[in-house]
Structure 1
Amino acid sequence: MPATATDAPIWFVTGCSSGFGRQLCDVVLEHGARLVATARDVSSLSHLPDDESRVLVAPLDVTNRASVDAAVAAAQERFGRIDVLVNNAGYGLFGGIEDTPDAEVRRQFDVNVHGLLDVTRAVLPVLRAQKSGYILNLSSVAGQVARASTGFYAASKFAVEALSEALREEVEPLGIKVTLIEPSGFKTDFHGRSLAAPSAEGADYAQTAAAGRDRVRGMAGNQAGDARKAAELMWQVAQLSDPPFRLPMGEMAVDLIRAKLAAVAADVDRCEPSARSADGDGTLVPLT
């Protein structure tokens, strides 16, 4: 039974100007929920309905805590609550570990990690007071698997995964759920406008870091994933009473994550006798 205007859940979504965020705005509204749509440039959200009872458009720069606090306060003032937080804002920095400038690395973490943290910390008091809520954190298949050129982007998403694991244990007793979204390649701006790279890399990395970055760029427009379907899956997972903690999306995500888990299991199996013997006073079993 569809929710009425006064009891429809409130979705607070970051990074709504394009990609998953833009698609999710449409899906949320089509399902009858209410929406707080945020972006650095709110002119990019002019396509949303001009309906104050259902939609709040708020400027939000995840790297500016005052901006974050203002958007959360505006959501509370308009709707009185927040039911679902979607930490979607982010971008990808692709470059070699040695040659990518420090300033670019720090900005990657400021947006993808510290930005997500600041938004989450601003919204958590609302969810705790309600004793309910759901947080969807946009990770990536790169939150599980890192390849040449993806090191800094993957590191930011590995951080999101670790923070989400800890957060889940901290907030589940308070009635708040957490899910990680782990997409692979989808038709969004990620492989174009949302991809950053260092201006130059050493010749020694031409066949590794530089080639890896170029492969990622070459996916633009050719990704297998349908962003609209991804947004629909995010809506569906939020309707489950017992949602999965991880939601991989796309065939590549499923295949790469399964391969990573198998490789980790193989390493653990190989090292297990030596690893276990490192405890206690017994004889250390040599590695083989």
Structure 2
Amino acid sequence: MSDLETRQLRYFVAVAEERHFGRAAQRLGMAQPPLSRAIRDLERQLGVQLLIRTTRQVTLTAAGETLLVDARAALDAVGAAQRRARNAGRPVPTLRLALKADYDAGLLPTIMDAYRTLPVELLLGGHGEQVPALRDGRADVALLPTPFDDRGLDTEPLVTGPRLVALAATDPLAARRTVRLSDLAGRRLPGGAPAEAGGTPPPPADPRSRLDLSQIFNLVEVGNVVWFLPDWVARRFPRPNIAYRPVEGLEPTTLAVAWPADSRSPAVAAFVRAVREIAEAAFTDEPPVPLLDGGRVGPN
């Protein structure tokens, strides 16, 4: 049996995802008959049926479902290899750092000043965009808050702290020193999702939200939403119309540095060492964040 080609995998993934040869051909920019022939040739090459074709739909066999998972991973790996090779072959290679703006715990300026192995190229994105950037080769290393899917990644914790809730200063809950998750049931989160009833801990941020910090703060100030955020973000943004309060039972979050587990880049290794040393120096014996209330310590 000859080796599979990436072209064959791309064709199969398009048909498997579209569940329709016509739509898959349009997506691939080709005619339908050669696509159908290519899939039949692939099935003959593997010796298994991948698709069940009817006049109305295309469904996957068990073999097709298995190949779809592996084909996606293989195509992602090929794409990542291409991007990393192109970056390494540039006249001036860079270390591509993925992060969300203002989620660096204040470390970024020191990192940029201290790290000299390669120029650092920042890839700023929303929540949840850093791990895909690492996996598809757009980024070499990332700073991101836990939890995240760390399969295939190596990670080092940098800063751990409690998550707080941001409330409008006029909210009745702002008069308390702490609140419970159950107190917040039914409140809206950025992105429109409700806080879960029964005290279920929320994620660090709603991945559906693509609002920037200033937009989220505006929504909190007028009482439209509440927002759960790390204390190391809250301490950087005291605002007169927002109160930050600890939440009983809410697990802390950690800012971590992450990179692909198969990376053998000396530049990445040097970055991880540097950022770990910078975080240790910045947060050793640091006092806990105060309850911020319009830039002042919260109620007694």
Question: Normalised by the size of structure 1, how large is the TM-score?
Answer: 0.28
Flag the structure with larger Rg.
Answer: 2
Which of the pair is proportionally richer in strand? 2
